[in-house]
Chain A
Amino acid sequence: MEPILAPESIDLIALAPVIVLSVFAMMVLVVDLFGARDKGLLAFISLIGLLMTTISAFAKNPIPAYSFNDSYTVDHLSLFFICIFTISSALAILLSVEYNKREGIRAGEYYALILFCTVGMILLASSSDMIMIFLGVEIVSICLYVLAGIQRDNHRSNEAALKYFLLGAFATGFLLYGMALVYGSTGNTNLFKIADFMQNPSAQSNPLLLMGLVLLIIGFGFKVASVPFHMWAPDVYQGAPTPVTAFMAVGPKAAAFAAFFRVFAETFAAMAPSWEILLSIIAVLSMFFGNLGAIMQTNIKRMLAFSSISHAGYILIAVIAKNSLGSASLLFYMLTYAFTIFGIFGVIIILGRKGEENLEIKCYSGLAYKHPILAISMAIFLLSLGGLPPFAGFIAKFYIFSAAIQEGFIALVIIAVLNSAISFYYYLKVIVYIYMEEPTAEFKVSMSPLTLFVVLVGVAATINIGIFPGSIIALASH
């Protein structure tokens, strides 16, 4: 019997992380099917799967390597992103175990969905073909639709899922239409070939192509929740189960930015003058709307949703800068953002109990005097999100701003730093409640070891990356 060999263009080793993770995800489903009463086992298998994925991602050597006729790329950007994805998915799973037990989320497919979603993110970050990007976007989105609505008996969760699904499907339509127009005007779906095609100046002024780019921006803009395509974010963030919110705020967003960067900063770099201004406007709007919107919020999850909109604005600056500092700063930013966001949501989960999640900011009054460790962790995360030294968020912002300044986008950076100042206001407002108000009621915390572990990992990473960013910068700026 002849062995079945993959065609030469398919490099399975390059694809190892996707394969490994898919296998583990299916294993989770099977184990769940055969009566795993203890959902902790599923979480454990998932964590092992993520670990194996990370290891297998480095199996391909040397990089860059390509597979599937150059539609799948293993390069520095994708490897770093895979690490961000596995770290963030692992943190999300750690947050989920006790939360799910508490809130009665029994579905075993929960962990499988997170893993499948991670597969989609890996595909998205590694794709160098528009079809592959579309596949990635769809895998990620469909998993998220289900995850957002996984609390079937909670009407907010249902609302979140439905809203996310309707708007998301609509945005995917835009994305696909944009891809079709780009294909129509360039004759290719492969990003490398499109980039080659773009070298020809006459190709750049094709109105169909421009239209296609605009539609792509709309599609990606929705996925990263940038203004004016952000409307879904606050409701979905608020309604989804808290660990899912944290997961959504980091992994899928990072993946969408990876694709965003590949398509715009790398493929269409030659056409930068035509999309730069559009993206700049979106970045500025995201920062202003996100920050001003966050000021008004009284619910911490909504506030973080708006703050994540503003962060999308900052990160877009890295895409606009489109230099090597830009890609490095994107990686660095997403990594630090992951630790900070999971830390914050960890604190939020600890401070809630079944039925009463205590999501109003005023519920945090006087936290510092009852639970000093949670309070200082929260303060560190918030200050880091605001970009205050010596925390990781500062270095991340500094990195992005330096990428933009190097390319001469000074006005954009000035707007961004002024927005940082606005954002201090609402981050400080939470700290005011935590430190400067007297406790109003007894805190009913559910101090669970795994969640606390995530918080402490977040604190350690936020401080450590903030004070000794050297090694991570070296990794990111390979």
Chain B
Amino acid sequence: MFLTFVTFLPLAGAAFLIFTPKENAAAIKQTALAVAAADFLLSLFLWTNFDNTTHKMQFELNVPWIEAWGINFHVGLDGISLLLYVMTTFLTMICVIASWDVKKYIREYMIAMLTLSTGMLGVFVALDLFMFYVFWEFQLIPMYIIIGVWGGPRRVYASIKFFLFTAVGSLLMLVAILWIYFHIQETTGVATADILYITEHLSAPLGTQKWLWMAFFLAFAIKVPMFPFHTWLPDAHVEAPTAGSVILAGVLLKMGTYGFLRFNLPFFPQVSYEFVPMVAWLSIIGIIYGALVSMVQIDLKKLVAYSSVSHLGFVMLGIFALNPYGIQGALIQNINHGISTGALFLLVGVIYDRRHTRLIEEFGGLSKVMPKYAVCFMIVALSSIGLPGMNGFVGEFLILLGIFQVNAIWAACATSGIILAACYILWMFQRVMFMEAKNPKNLALQDINIREAFTIVPLIILIFWIGLYPKPFMDTFDTSVTHLVAKVSPDNFGPSPRNRHDDQRGKHARLITPTEMASLHHKLQAPKKF
């Protein structure tokens, strides 16, 4: 119940704002901030009460929603979703502060922001496929509005592109969800869309599983975004207002990687295992392509946007290493990317607010004019590169460690991405911060103010905290990752596909049939009522 409360608190705040007179901008902003901050503190409370020693769902609530279809309102958190959940409330709070100077329709803006927050939180806590889908689509609306109303010159194009890309992917996922629903009903006799139940009982033929996997893959790969589905991202990022970009990079992209961990891997372990090379190569292409394209960008925001493609490639690579290092690295890198890229967008927003341009060539020598700003930017930039002692290093190192165990060539290719990251970030930093301050418009720029410091300093603290002492973060998902890895381990589905050609057993190995599954399930669950 508490979790539900925390999830829907922002929506309640948004509903409250509807009745606030729109002339009273200060009160609107303060209310929004109060709601967001309260939500963040409550989510911290969830974290402190979280039991690290189990992979099971916690703070669960399971009540019937659409009884005729066996669909429940089922929420819960485990190690995989907890940090993402907390990060969502945290970034929402930061974004409300960062949007303090929004002039246009501030009330509608805050309503959209808070609604978006509930939509995203819902995605991370939903434990029913139907519910998950509802939240997954629902959060599109406020984000679409935020980009489309408060965005840059090409905002309409960018917002529609964002919406349609995500919608196409997720609609195919809907077909897969329906198929799974009826399949589960047929094989086990239980009409349910419960994710935990499906994880335990899904036993489709391998050929069908591949199709289902592809449907989920498309939805999540577009969201992540993986190469070649990334084209919506630069447009959306460039046109979105600063806070929109932060949320987009910090949370929305993570919904994609979360989807892989929650659905693709546990639902279809064997298929995931077989698709590892494809995903790995797409990720590597994404890493290198994203980095190379970043290098030639003339717009700061676009540079950061393409760097996201590159960084998310790392996360995907870590997930599909399918070993503890890889997945732990991916999870922590999820958080890191949210913090570092979020901070980068905030910092770009700071100079955009002052100069109304983001072109790199317009700047130069800012370190003399805005020294505090330059220091913050340096820290964040280095964290984005993955300098030891900062958060990026922990994640990338773990991911590389994980992927190296699978394939050394992949690890080598991915490492080149880190070098390229250093190139584009440092080169950009040099052109913006150092060199001579030629442009007279830059000479009188204000350094970072208190409000902006309030948005960036917490992120910098986290950068060092995760970089130096990641244990509290890593502990939350340790057990869940171990459980997940055991689930996707090739031991579960007969001889590994790689040895199949020289292993005769492979021909006879088969999946447990639905009827066997049903009878087993019947035996196990006999005394328990569903």
Which residues of A are at the interface with B, using a C-beta cutoff of 8 A? 368-369, 383, 388-390, 394, 398, 401-402, 405-406, 410, 413-414, 417-418, 420-421, 424-425, 428-429, 432, 435-436, 469-470, 473-474, 477
Contacts and interface: CB of A to CB of B under 8 A. Distances in A.
Interface string B112-138: 000000000000000000100111011
A390 B148 contact: no
A298 B137 CA distance: 27
A401 B156 contact: no
Contact of B160 (A420, A428, A470, A473): A428
B168 A421 contact: yes
B462 interface: no
Given A402-B178, A414-B175, A421 B140 contact: no
Contacts of A413: 175, 178
A421 B170 CA distance: 10
A402 B182 contact: yes
B133 A421 contact: no
Contacts of A368: 108
Interface stretch (B64-72, B340-348, B406-414, B467-475): B64-72
Contacts, number: 83
B156 A410 contact: no
B453 to A, nearest CB: 32
Given A390-B134, A390-B138, A414-B172, 20 more contacts: A368-B108, A389-B133, A389-B135, A401-B174, A401-B175, A401-B178, A414-B175, A417-B171, A418-B172, A421-B164, A421-B171, A424-B163, A424-B164, A424-B167, A428-B164, A432-B159, A432-B160, A470-B67, A470-B68, A474-B68
Contact of A428 (B69, B163, B174): B163
Contacts of B108: 368
A424 B174 CA distance: 16
A390 B105 CA distance: 25
Interface in B25-74: 64-69
Contacts of B144: 428
Q: When A and B form their complex, which 10 residue pairs have the shortest distance between CB atoms, in order from nearest?
A: A417-B171, A389-B134, A405-B178, A473-B68, A421-B168, A436-B148, A470-B66, A389-B137, A421-B167, A402-B178
Nearest to A372: B108
B296 interface: no
A435 B148 contact: yes
B68 A388 contact: no
A368 B109 CA distance: 13
Contacts of A390: 134, 138
Contacts of A394: 134, 137
Contacts of B390: none
B90 interface: no
Interface string B178-201: 110110000000000000000000
Interface in B131-162: 133-135, 137-138, 140-141, 144-145, 148-149, 155-156, 159-160
Given A470-B66, A474-B67, A436 B156 contact: yes
A470 B69 CA distance: 9
B20 to A, nearest CB: 13
B148 A432 contact: yes
Given A369-B105, A388-B141, A389-B137, A405 B155 contact: no
Nearest to B65: A470
B156 A425 contact: no
Contacts of B178: 398, 401-402, 405, 413
Contacts of B66: 469-470, 473
Contacts of B149: 435-436
B179 A405 contact: yes
Contact of A389 (B138, B156, B179): B138
Nearest to A424: B167
15 contacts: A368-B108, A383-B141, A388-B140, A398-B130, A398-B178, A405-B182, A418-B168, A420-B171, A421-B167, A421-B168, A424-B167, A425-B164, A428-B160, A435-B145, A436-B156
B100 to A, nearest CB: 22
Nearest to A419: B171
A406 B174 contact: no
A417 B163 contact: no
Contacts of A429: 160
A383 B108 CA distance: 18
A407 to B, nearest CB: 10
B368 to A, nearest CB: 40
A98 B38 CA distance: 48
